[in-house]
Amino acid sequence: MIDRPLTQHLRQDGSPVFMTDYRGGGGYEGLRRVLADSSPEDCLQQVKDSRLRGRGGAGFPTGMKWSFVPMGEKAGVGPKYLIANADEMEPGTFKDRIILEQDPHQLIEGMILASYALQANVAYIFLRGEYTVAAERIETAIKECYSAGYLGENIQGSGYSLELHLHRSAGRYICGEETALISALEGKRANPRPKPPFPQVSGLWGRPTIVNNVETLCNITHILTHGAQWYQSLGIGQDSGTKLFGASGNVNNPGCWELPMGTPIREILEQHAGGMREGYTLRGFLPGGGSTDFLTPDHLDLAMDYDVIGKAGSRMGTGTMIILDDRHCPIAMVRNLSHFFAQESCGFCTPCRDGIPWIVQLLDRFESGQATEADLALLEEKARFIGGMGNTHCALAPGAMEPVTSALKYFRDDFERHIHDGRCHYHSDVGGR
Amino acid sequence: MADVIITLTLEGVEMATITIDDTLYEVADGANILEAVLSLGLDLPYFCWHPALGSVGSCRQCAVLQFQNEEDERGRIVMGCMTAVSDGMLLSLSNDKAVDFRADVIESLMTNHPHDCPVCAEGGECHLQDMTVMSGHRNRRYDGLKNTHVNQDLGPLINHEMNRCIACYRCTRYYRDYAGGTDLAAMGSHDHVYFGRHEDGTLESEFAGNLVEVCPTGVFTDKALVNDYTRKWDLQSAPSICVGCAVGCNIAPGERYGRLKRIHNRYNHEVNGYFLCDRGRFGGSFVNSDKRLLSAGWKLDDDVFSPLNSEQALAQLQTLCLSGDGLYAIGSPRASLESNWMLRTLVGRDKFCSGFGAEDAALRATVSAIVEGGVHTATLPEVEAADLVIILGEDVTQTAPRLALALRQTVRNVGLEQAATMGVQYWQDTAVRNIAQNTRTPLIELVTASTRLADIASDTVTFAPADIARVGFALAHALGAGPEVDGLSSTDIALVARLQALVDNAERPLIISGCSSHNVSVVAAAQSVAAAVAQKHASTRVVYVAPEANSVGLGLLDPNALSLEEIGAAARNGEIKTLVVLENDLYRRAPKAQVDALLGSVANLVVLDTMEHLTAEAAQLVLPVASYAECEGTLVNNEGRAQRFYPPITASEDRPPAWHWLRSLAGAMKHSSLAELTQIDDVIDAIATDVPLLAGVIDASPKASYRDRVGLKAARQPHRYSGRTAMYANKTLHEPKTQADDDSALAYSMEGESQSLPGALRSFVWDPGWNSNQSLHKFQDEIGGSLKGGSSGARLINATGHPVSGRSDVPDAFERRQGSWCLTPQYRLYGSDEMSAYATPVAEMMTGAQITLSPADVESLALGAEDGVSIVIDELSVDCAVIIDPLLPAGTAGFVVGHPEMLNLRAGSYVALEKKQDFMRVPEVIVTDGVRAHG
């Protein structure tokens, strides 16, 4: 039995796996068997039993999400939709890209199976605009699928039909938010939508819609092929399955690796990422992308499980870590991230649109040595205001404030030293920003 | 917890008991918290929510604290506008967490707002100012740079100042989602989001002017007001009625220095709700026109008028009129009921012509349908509640614009029902629209040309007027009423079957028609359809559209008054010695030759009007009269609703209301019962007694004797009205005596409390802390409901409930004629109406003479898109630009009713068209990307 299902087909040279090789490695075998032997209800039950949680960052149980989709006559007239969220724009995150570029059929097979389970007849891959290499390869793979009869009318003689479209995003971080993604796909401004109605009931074009992350959908094939029990057994902690973990920053071997859920952070950083580069000491890290709270070396022995990281005061997010070392200014780092989130605000609600730019200005004052104690208090107040869950229309702003508030918690002495010294003490060390 | 229960009782609404800051309240279940709080009279700041636009949760300003239960001491922040109230809900508005949150929101909004209140046109009636104060944002902690934007030229009507924007998204939500516009959008993102057009250019929507009131700050302002500025607190206003069409929207014109400065919407939930059309908002300033008649004039031999003072003018009037039998009169559908009635009574019923134009016969049929059709005419909320709309022969966007805006809401009903089945409240605007997507309530138009409702209509089918009537009669027949129609095409038979099925499935059908096709049988067919539908569904409603502000009133006053043709015949027979024309330019009513013949056969012509025009030039004696902005009067709208308008401007003695001239004449003519009518209330009482159909006019508004609870009249000036002593200091150092107003219960004064006024007497809305028109909720029974003092106006006609079919035979089918084209009337928001064309902003929006042709006819005439055509009638030629309408039936040609150059064209007549070489096309004010339905 395989223990690294997501990356099993990947090649050392990073060249893409297309239809012949994918099928050679057992690809679409699961699809053929499921369509022949399993009902949509069976599939849903398997996914529920697998305890798969969404890999896009929030970790919501996939089976539960699917179970809200009306089935049969309850779905009313018109198509249901499945959307693969391939708008991978989280800072520091490059996990989906590896599959999208190197193993597009893995995603497509997962999408066909998920669509079958949901009885959706139209599916979209919503791809980050900058992923041009992936776009070409996905197009090729989709064409291969239509030729091979895995997409289109009456797939493999099962009577089930599915149309799959690739949509290349015009490029906004907010499109990763599932309702904003739907708005963008409809050709509207990419503003997140109020809920209810939840997309499962009324999403794209007002019809039942499931939006799942690329990695989540890739897992579907393996769960339905090898069973929920097997999938659960892959995890070594509380959560089941494997996960694409990653690390970036001043480590010896930045990259992305498929590891069991529950792998300790220390193992990821020290074994797979090769530890800190010489001359750099670990100061802290964002465990799951740019919109998660800092953790510190004290947390290295935690398991990468959704709830474990959550209890430690952060989020596992995308599972791709950004490393802060002792020679870079934490304020500059959060300033950089805040600037990104300010730029990527859709501009719909006030705290996010007008609040995050203020955060950036305040952080700039620290970096330029002009900040006062009052600025520190104001920064904390505004971060609380912007970051409070429910204070804003969607989760962008709370996510944006996670590195800020956690930096204020763990690196407060840095903020105070900036005020006291009237300058940034890191910049002179490393020769400026 | 306290045991006080404050109840807001609403009929037919489930109530929920909620606790706000330890006080128990009963509120409508399912309303959102913000609505409920405002309905209770409490204050909660907000921006993006609007009573007509619903909730989207963008600004986050209306946050309150919600507690899970009695033990919950922390609570959580929820948005008032996005959270439905439910029984037992525990809320706090005043908890520090909520207060601090709201302070943070306003502080964020203000980071990019300029400090330009002193030079901002919104200042003093700015919702942002009010909410800033209400939220307690006093000290500015943000010391960074402010974002700035480039402003756009949005045309003659609206000024754009983007730097003031707080990004509440109301403008685009109103403009696009509510009003169906396409050329204003939110662009860009994050804190650079920009609200404007894709490039400079005149806003295309007929309802763009409402942006002025929808915008909570000074981004969109009234351009005419900006260029001739007065603050709200210095405006003297009055409750008035728009004279732009027969919808009768309630307006609040504001005056300063004797000039009309601007028109704001005056809320009447049964007529116009929160919105006006742009003809109404920007057309009412015709009263400032330099074409106004300033003094009476007597024509000398050399055709020059010699000015007369009032006494001289009255003497001349008496001389001309005291000659016995030969006194005839022509009334006016744009003059008040009072003036028309006085004139008719003075000359006698058999010598009174109502002064309708080409639509005369169709209008009489329309009035008859309203009075005798037996089907209830829809109010605005009833229009918006319909679940099927069938329009016969009316381009409502041009002829009854506010109705068209209502229909844009009507078509949402299917989507609202879908949302309701998902448990989504109607006020969850984004959610409802996401659920509904493009599903719409059926709206079928049978019209003569493309319309601006095409984007929401399930079907826009075009016919020549006679064929609209034929399909209408066929539908009525299919539904079991009226004669069979022979010879329909198979597509028409299919259309009738489709309509019949829609009628069968509907519960609240609405039939709309009117006289704008100038065709009696169209109105009769619509009446028959309404009658047949009403037999099936008791909740059937109709709207019959009349052309002018008092067309219906005049029709009710005297359904059998002489037509222009009949009075022309009397003149030819030498029966008319003196003809008195009231507020009517006959050259707009009939072809020039006909009017010339009429006026040529009359020895003496007296014209009473507000404006100089061709008829006035032909008069021996011209008497200037007060406009709607300078006197009081009553108008009857499409709905049969009598509504009173009051003057914001004091009338000059030289220019009294028309009925004052006529009353003086009555005295000289020993018509004592008229001469004794000193006040307008006396006239109204006399009308009610004299004309049974108009008996209800008494109830249109309180009498002049009305006093508020402290014994004062209603104020026209807000309590901050300033500069009374300085205003006329260039003329006199003494403060002028306050002008008396014996005719009405309004005073030219700041005195008088405003809380409990009847709606008909409310000149402005203003409440402590609420300086903008957002204060309206303080005066409503509930959000979007009627005014606390009762809405203004009185419906004169109660449907009998016994539907009656129209009285007309099925007309013959339209037949094309080789080489000539049947003229069909087309109306334009800017240009078809006489008076608004005198208003500078509206004049700037008008186009040149235009004729609309089908593509096939354009091809057969070998016309290019830039070519013009000439039409010759009665030896008068008019050159017109050609508009190509793909939907126009071949063989017909649409002409612009009321366009000064096209007044000789008559609906239904056949004309030859000749290509006009070297035609100079007048540039269109609205330059579009081709998305407009016309052309």
Q: How confident is the model at residue B12 (pLDDT cuts 50, 70, 90)?
A: low
Check: CB of residue B60 under 8 Å from CB of residue A351: yes
**How far is B209 from B204, CA to CA, in rounded Å?**
11
Instruction: Show Cβ contacts of residue B291 under 8 Å, excluding neighbours closer than 6 positions.
Output: B611, B612, B613, B838
Contacts of A361 in chain B (CB under 8 A): 144
Which CATH number goes with the domain that contains A179? 3.40.50.11540
For the segment B638-649, what is each residue's pLDDT rounded down to a tens digit? 999 999 999 999
Please, what is the Cα angle at B792 between B789 and B796, to 5 degrees? 130
Q: What is the mean pLDDT of residues B22-29?
A: 95
Tell me which residue in A189, A196, A346 faces B431 most closely, judged by beta carbons: A196
* Percent of all residues in chain B with a pLDDT value above 90, rounded to a whole number: 89
Do A290 and A164 have their domain in common? Answer: no
Please, what is the Cα angle at B786 between B785 and B789, to 5 degrees? 145
Q: Where are the beta strands (DSSP E) in B183-258?
A: 185-187, 194-196, 220-222, 236-237, 240-241, 250-256
Query: In 3-state terms, what secondary structure has residue A303?
Result: strand
Q: What is the mean pLDDT of residues B107-133?
A: 96
Tell me which residue in A201, A348, A391 faces B58 most closely, judged by beta carbons: A348
Which is more confident, B807 or A88? A88
Q: Tally A–B CB contacts below 8 A.
A: 107
What's residue B62's pLDDT? 98
Instruction: Show Cβ contacts of residue B100 under 8 Å, excluding neighbours closer than 6 positions.
Output: none
Q: How confident is the model at residue B932 (pLDDT cuts 50, 70, 90)?
A: very low
- Chain A's closest residue to B185, CA to CA, is A189
B178 to A216, A295, B409, B591, B874: CA distances (angstroms):
40, 48, 7, 40, 46
User: Is A361 touching B (CB cutoff 8 A)?
Assistant: yes
Contacts of A198 in chain B (CB under 8 A): none
Residue labelled with tokens 């056949």: B910
User: Is A347 touching B (CB cutoff 8 A)?
Assistant: yes
**First and final CA of chain B: distance in angstroms?**
66
Do A204 and A342 have their domain in common? Answer: no
What's residue B3's pLDDT? 46
Do A297 and A343 have their domain in common? Answer: no
Which is more confident, A1 or B736? B736
Backbone angles phi, psi at A372, to 5 degrees: -120, 175
Task: Say if A89 falls within a structural domain.
Answer: yes
Tell me which residue in B190, B193, B430 faces A344 most closely, judged by beta carbons: B190
For residue B67, list its beta bridge partners: B90
- Chain B's closest residue to A171, CA to CA, is B189
For the segment A59-97, what is each residue's pLDDT rounded down to a tens digit? 999 999 999 999 999 999 999 999 999 999 999 999 999
Check: CB of residue B860 under 8 Å from CB of residue B820: no
pLDDT at residue B583 greater than cutoff 80: yes
What's residue B895's pLDDT? 97
Of A358-372, B33-47, B669-683, B749-763, which gets the smallest average pLDDT? B749-763
Hey, what are B76's tokens? 């959580």
Check: CB of residue B403 under 8 Å from CB of residue B525: no
Tell me which residue in A172, A349, A361 faces B189 most closely, judged by beta carbons: A172
Sign, CA dihedral A310-A316-A322-A325, equals: positive
**How far is A342 from A334, CA to CA, in rounded Å?**
12
B546 to B179, B448, B605, B617: CA distances (angstroms):
23, 17, 28, 28
For residue B160, list its beta bridge partners: B220
CB contact under 8 A, B57 and A194: yes
CB contact under 8 A, B434 and A196: no
**How far is A344 from B304, CA to CA, in rounded Å?**
71
User: Is A197 touching B (CB cutoff 8 A)?
Assistant: yes
Tell me which residue in A346, A354, A361 faces B108 most closely, judged by beta carbons: A354
Residues of B with CB under 8 A from a CB of A: 56-61, 63, 76-78, 82, 101, 104-105, 108-109, 111-112, 141-142, 144, 167, 169, 186, 188-193, 418-419, 422-424, 428, 430-431, 434-437, 439
Instruction: Show Cβ contacts of residue B279 under 8 Å, excluding neighbours closer than 6 positions.
Output: B206, B244, B245, B401, B829, B830, B833, B836, B842
pLDDT at residue B873 greater than cutoff 90: no
What's residue B732's pLDDT? 84
For the segment B224-238, what is each residue's pLDDT rounded down to a tens digit? 999 999 999 999 999
Query: In 3-state terms, what secondary structure has residue A384?
Result: helix
ipTM of the complex model? 0.95
Transcribe A131-193 into DSSP letters: -HHHHHHHHHHHHHHHHHTSSBSSGGGSS--BEEEEEE----GGGGSHHHHHHHHTTS--PPP
Task: Say if A343 falls within a structural domain.
Answer: yes
What's residue A428's pLDDT? 61
DSSP one-letter code for A289: B
CB contact under 8 A, A378 and B141: yes
Q: What is the mean pLDDT of residues B128-143?
A: 94
User: Is A385 touching B (CB cutoff 8 A)?
Assistant: yes
Do A99 and A171 have their domain in common? Answer: yes
Q: What is the mean pLDDT of residues A37-43?
A: 96
**How far is A188 from B15, CA to CA, in rounded Å?**
38
Task: Say if A240 falls within a structural domain.
Answer: no
Checking DSSP bridges between strand A242-248 and strand A320-325, what pairing results, if any? parallel
Domains: count for chain A: 3
Residue labelled with tokens 């004062």: B712
Contacts of A184 in chain B (CB under 8 A): none
CA distance A189 to chain B (A): 8
User: Is A55 touching B (CB cutoff 8 A)?
Assistant: no
Contacts of B167 in chain A (CB under 8 A): 347, 350, 353-354
Q: What is the mean pLDDT of residues B664-669?
A: 93
Contacts of B430 in chain A (CB under 8 A): 193-194
User: Is A67 touching B (CB cutoff 8 A)?
Assistant: no
CB contact under 8 A, A202 and B422: yes
Q: What is the mean pLDDT of residues B417-446?
A: 96
Tell me which residue in A193, A344, A392 faces B430 most closely, judged by beta carbons: A193
CB contact under 8 A, B191 and A357: yes
B489 to A356, B465, B471, B478, B813: CA distances (angstroms):
65, 16, 10, 15, 10
Please, what is the Cα angle at B826 between B825 and B828, to 5 degrees? 145
Of A239-243, A305-309, B559-563, B731-735, which gets the smallest average pLDDT? B731-735
Which CATH number goes with the domain that contains A403? 1.20.1440.230
Hey, what are B805's tokens? 């079919």
User: Is A75 touching B (CB cutoff 8 A)?
Assistant: no
Residue that terminates a domain, selected from A234, A253, A283: A234
User: Is A196 touching B (CB cutoff 8 A)?
Assistant: yes
Contacts of B424 in chain A (CB under 8 A): 196-197
What's residue B733's pLDDT? 84
Chain B interface, best mutation among A193, A354, A361, A378, by max B CB count within 10 A: A354
Tell me which residue in B60, B190, B422 faces A350 most closely, judged by beta carbons: B60
Whole domain around residue A379: which residue ranges?
A: 330-421
Residue that terminates a domain, selected from A210, A234, A258: A234
Task: Say if A432 falls within a structural domain.
Answer: no
CA distance A352 to chain B (A): 8
Residue that terminates a domain, selected from A205, A234, A263: A234
What's residue B11's pLDDT? 55
What's residue B876's pLDDT? 85
Task: Say if A165 falls within a structural domain.
Answer: yes
Contacts of A373 in chain B (CB under 8 A): none
Residue labelled with tokens 């079919």: B805
Cβ within 8 Å of B, A 148-187: 172
**How far is A51 from A48, CA to CA, in rounded Å?**
6
Query: In 3-state terms, what secondary structure has residue B782?
Result: coil
Of A213-227, B867-881, B896-910, which gets the smallest average pLDDT? B867-881
For the segment B844-865, what is each residue's pLDDT rounded down to a tens digit? 999 999 999 999 999 999 988 7
Transcribe B558-602 into DSSP letters: -TTPBPHHHHHHHHHTT--SEEEEES--GGGTS-HHHHHHHHHT-
CA distance B216 to chain A (A): 15
DSSP one-letter code for B147: P
Q: Report whether the peptide linkage leading into residue A196 is cis, meaning its omega lies within 30 degrees of zero.
A: yes
Task: Say if A428 falls within a structural domain.
Answer: no
pLDDT at residue B386 greater than cutoff 50: yes
Do A23 and A169 have their domain in common? Answer: yes
Which CATH number goes with the domain that contains A286? 3.10.20.600
What's residue A16's pLDDT? 97
Report the candidate in B623, B643, B739, B731 with the shortest Cα–Cα distance to residue B684: B643
Task: Say if A177 falls within a structural domain.
Answer: yes
Q: How confident is the model at residue B199 (pLDDT cuts 50, 70, 90)?
A: very high
Task: Say if A54 falls within a structural domain.
Answer: yes
Average pLDDT, whole number, for chain A?
96
Contacts of B189 in chain A (CB under 8 A): 172, 344-347
Q: How confident is the model at residue B6 (pLDDT cuts 50, 70, 90)?
A: low
**How far is B565 from B902, CA to CA, in rounded Å?**
20
Do A273 and A374 have their domain in common? Answer: no
Average pLDDT, whole number, for chain B?
94
Do A305 and A365 have their domain in common? Answer: no
Do A261 and A113 have their domain in common? Answer: no
What's residue B791's pLDDT? 81
Q: In residues, how long is chain B?
A: 935
Do A258 and A160 have their domain in common? Answer: no
For residue A285, what is the enclosing H or E element?
strand A282-286
Query: In 3-state terms, what secondary structure has residue B364?
Result: helix
Check: CB of residue B85 under 8 Å from CB of residue B27: yes
CB count within 10 Å of CB B898 equals 18
What's residue A431's pLDDT? 41
CB contact under 8 A, A193 and B111: no
Report the candidate in B711, B108, B296, B867 with the shortest Cα–Cα distance to residue A354: B108
Please, what is the Cα angle at A338 between A334 and A344, to 5 degrees? 150
CB count within 10 Å of CB B745 equals 23
CA distance A163 to chain B (A): 22
Hey, what are B771's tokens? 């300086």
Query: In 3-state terms, what secondary structure has residue A65?
Result: helix
Q: What is the mean pLDDT of residues B159-174?
A: 98
Do A221 and A367 have their domain in common? Answer: no
CA distance A253 to chain B (A): 36
CB contact under 8 A, B60 and A349: yes
What's residue B930's pLDDT? 44
Do A122 and A223 have their domain in common? Answer: yes
Check: CB of residue A155 under 8 Å from CB of residue A149: yes
A73 to A64, A119, A408, B159: CA distances (angstroms):
20, 11, 53, 53
Do A299 and A317 have their domain in common? Answer: yes
What's residue B124's pLDDT? 95
For the segment B234-273, what is each residue's pLDDT rounded down to a tens digit? 999 999 999 999 999 999 999 999 999 999 999 999 999 9
B683 alpha carbon, distance to own chain's centre: 26
**How far is A420 from B247, CA to CA, in rounded Å?**
70
